[in-house]
Structure 1
């Protein structure tokens, strides 16, 4: 395990756990933390043996968002504030575009920047007691790390506007109902549920996981006609060059578990 001032990065065979570790401050996403996360994501991406990442928070919060005192100082220096926003943008985009599968395990409060981090992940498991929302407008702020763009795409425009404009927090079940999280589990089972999901994904083809994430993400940047054409091209390349594609068909025919490349 490697530790920085604000995060911890733990290696677990073929997957990693990335923990926001400033529980006393509800795991704020200040500039220092964002830069540590950015570096950690780059380190994870360079590890060919790692296929999945669990992102969670220590204590009673996933992340309550930004550091308000830090923002006051950044607002007084527009160049520094711009650099902070760019680092946050780069970090979340790196997660979204990563070849790894990122799973957010939401414990407790997940607000503002915490929600923006959630939205960049591929799958989201929430503890039953979790509270999730945008919350920026409660203090006269606006989402600046992708929240205004990713949230409507995730849950639809009307629901996104309600969360953004009211600042309301919703329960884990409400978040599941609106499509913001993929699973809700008892608080005590959050870590185990995340590990079980990693294990389930671990039985799949690594190349297939990367391909499925890539294809799904096309909807974020392309229109339907372009996406359909890119799907054809990508699947043709995958099926004719990736050994796992042929291995899966042979295993199905032989009624055995596929022996995918690891």
Structure 2
């Protein structure tokens, strides 16, 4: 992925996941494949710490999230939920932690890429929905699935899914508990790209390599404008864009550097 990413690839074992860094890219791998990578209390707490750590590292521009084995994440830990349901305060803290994790990802200045290699259900889907870009294997199994077991989504599906695929499709997916393939999810606009399983890693690597060549300030600004604009009416969002872009173009060095590079027919030298 270019010389910028040829640095030492150190992998650290964290609660329920692995963290690796390579230049401008940090990679999170959910790492309990024997249990389909459950998002239990310890894993969520560990991911919150990892995301906060990554956010404090200016050199990191893109963060990938995937799962070890045959799943991205099949959701929560069954026995863990049975215990949490008997302890309402603890369950409330867990829900707040999951909420906090997903909001940190959404509000991060980094670009998060979910690489969905297999089953992505319930909490797995909710983590996926918080990411900026989703690349899925064509045969990956993706869905909310909570209602199939008398449950309800508590980490964002009922809100984010409707905003991504529209309320009619969201009702269908949540109320039927239907699990769809990565290819079907791409057609619905639920994932960004679907690729053959054998080419999933290659496709993700190519996209991430492309992202790290872009202006870091430009990526941060694009993410902010889209995310913040969705909180407002169209006219308010357009006004937000107008003010933000005026300030960006007149104060951000990367804006002028991009124009100079285009004029000079050279690769831009953006600030880290």
TM-score (norm 2): 0.94
Runs of 4 or more above 4 Å deviation: none
Return the alpha-carbon distance in structure 2 between the equivalents of residues 5 and 26 of structure 1. Answer: 15
Write the distance in 1 (CA, Å) between the matches of 2:99 and 2:235. 28
Q: Does 1:261 align with 2:271?
A: yes
Matched, 1:193 2:191: no
**How many residues are aligned here?**
262
- TM-score, structure 1 as length reference: 0.98
Conserved 8 A contact 2:139-2:183: no
1:231 offset after TM fit, Å?
A: 1.0
| Aligned with 1:13 (options 23, 26, 36) | 23
2:240 is the alignment partner of 1:230: yes
1:76 — aligned with what?
A: 86
- Which residue is 2:135 aligned to? 125
* Residue matched to 1:210: 220
Shift of 1:259: 1.6
**Residue 124 of structure 1: SS of its match in structure 2?**
strand
**Take 2:142 and 2:244, find their aligned partners in 1: how far apart are those partners?**
35
Residue 175 of structure 2 corresponds to residue 165 of structure 1: yes
2:57 to 33, 37, 47: 47
Check whether the contact 2:254–2:271 (CA below 8 A) recurs between aligned residues: yes
Contact 2:230 2:237 in 1 (8 A): no
**Alpha-carbon distance in 2 for matches of 1:53, 1:193:** 15
Q: Secondary structure at the match of 1:165?
A: helix
SS of 1:260's equivalent in the other structure is: coil
2:39 is the counterpart of 1:29 = yes
Match of 1:107 among 107, 114, 117: 117
Following the alignment from structure 1 to structure 2, what is the Cα–Cα distance between the partners of residues 183 and 43?
A: 28
Say whether 1:87 aligns with 2:97: yes
Q: Could you tell me which runs of 5 or more consecutive residues in structure 1 were left unpaired when the two chains were aligned.
A: none
Gaps of 5+ in 2: 1-10
Give the secondary structure class of the aligned counterpart of 1:218: helix
CA offsets 1:95-117 (integer angstroms, 9 cap, x no match): 01100000000011000000001
Q: What does residue 244 of structure 1 align with?
A: 254
* Worse-matched range after superposition: 90-99 or 222-231: 222-231
Q: Provide the rounded CA distance (Å) in 2 between the counterparts of 1:62 and 1:159.
A: 22
Structure 2: how far apart are the matches of 1:12 and 1:148?
A: 35
Query: 2:194 maps to what in 1?
Result: 184
Structure 1, 164-173 or 181-190: larger mean CA deviation: 181-190
Residue 33 of structure 1 and its aligned partner are, at CA, apart by 0.7
Structure 2: how far apart are the matches of 1:5 and 1:253?
49
